[in-house]
Amino acid sequence: MLKGRKITVGVTGGIAAYKAADIVSWLKQQGAVVRVAMTEGATHFITPLVMKTLSGNAVGCDIMTEDDAFHVPHIDLAECELFLIVPATANLLAKAAHGLADDLLSAALLATKAPVLCAPAMHSNMYQHPATQANLSLLRDRGWQMIEPGFGRLACGAVGQGRLADVETIKEAVCAFFAQSQLLAGKKVLVTGGPTYEYIDPVRFIGNRSSGRMGLAVAEAARDAGADVVFVLGPSALPDAAGMRTIHVVSAAEMYDAVWAEYTDADIVVMAAAVADYRPAERAAQKQKKGGDETLQLVRTVDILQSLGEHKEGRFLTGVAAETADIATYAADKLRRKNLDLIIANDVAQPGAGFDVETNIVTAVWPEAAAEGGLAMEQWPLLSKREVAARIIRMIAERMKMNDKK
Q: CATH topology of 6-180 equal to that of 188-405? A: yes
Task: Please compute Rg for the chain using Cα positions.
Answer: 24
**Are the beta carbons of 354 and 360 closer than 8 angstroms?**
yes
Q: Which of 34, 295, 23, 322 is nearest to 164 (CA)?
A: 23
The DSSP 8-state label assigned to residue 300 in this structure reads E
Q: What is the spatial distance between Cα 319 and Cα 328, in angstroms, rounded to a whole number? A: 14
Residues 383, 183: Cα–Cα separation, whole Å: 22
Q: What is the pLDDT of residue 158?
A: 73
Per DSSP, helices labelled H in 142-198 are 167-180
Nearest one of 27, 26, 165 to 87, comparing CA atoms: 165
Q: What contacts 24+ positions apart, CB below 8 Å, involve 181-185?
A: 181/81, 181/224, 181/225, 181/226, 182/225, 182/226, 183/225, 183/226, 183/393, 183/394, 183/397, 184/222, 184/225, 184/226, 184/227, 184/268, 184/393, 184/396, 184/397, 185/225, 185/226, 185/227
The span from the CA of 168 to the CA of 147, in Å, is: 11
Task: Select which of 61, 118, 156, 175 is catalytic.
Answer: 156
CA distance 175 to 26: 12
pTM of the model: 0.72
Task: Please give the Cα distance from 245 to 114 (Å, whole number).
Answer: 16
pLDDT digits (tens, 9 = 90+) for 302-336: 999 999 999 999 999 999 988 878 888 888 899 99
List the chain pLDDT tens, one digit each, 406 residues: 789 999 999 999 989 999 999 999 999 999 999 999 999 999 999 999 999 999 999 999 988 776 677 888 889 999 998 999 999 999 999 999 999 999 999 999 999 988 899 999 999 899 999 999 999 988 987 889 899 998 777 666 777 777 899 999 999 999 988 887 788 989 999 999 999 999 998 999 998 888 899 999 999 999 989 899 999 999 998 888 878 999 999 999 999 999 999 999 999 999 999 999 999 988 888 888 776 667 889 999 999 999 999 999 999 999 998 887 888 888 889 999 999 999 999 888 777 676 767 788 889 999 987 667 788 889 888 888 888 898 999 999 999 987 776 5
Positive or negative: CA dihedral 382, 385, 387, 392: positive
What's the CATH superfamily of 188-405? CoaB-like (3.40.50.10300)
Per domain, the residue ranges of the chain are: 6-180, 188-405
DSSP assignments along 203-272, one per residue: S-EE-----SHHHHHHHHHHHHTT-EEEEEE-S-SPPPPTTSEEEE--SHHHHHHHHHHHHTT-SEEEE-
Q: 6-180 falls under which CATH superfamily?
A: Flavin prenyltransferase-like (3.40.50.1950)
Q: Helix or strand or coil: residue 349? A: coil
Burial group, residue 52, by CB count within 10 angstroms (0-12, 13-18, 19+): middle
C-alpha to C-alpha distance for 72 and 77, rounded to whole angstroms = 9
Nearest to 59 by CA among 173, 399, 50: 50
pLDDT in tens, 378-389: 988 888 888 889
175 flagged as catalytic:
no
Q: What is the pLDDT of residues 22-70, one digit of tens each?
A: 999 999 999 999 999 999 999 999 999 999 999 999 999 988 776 677 8
How many other C-beta atoms can be found within 10 angstroms of the C-beta atom of residue 350? 14
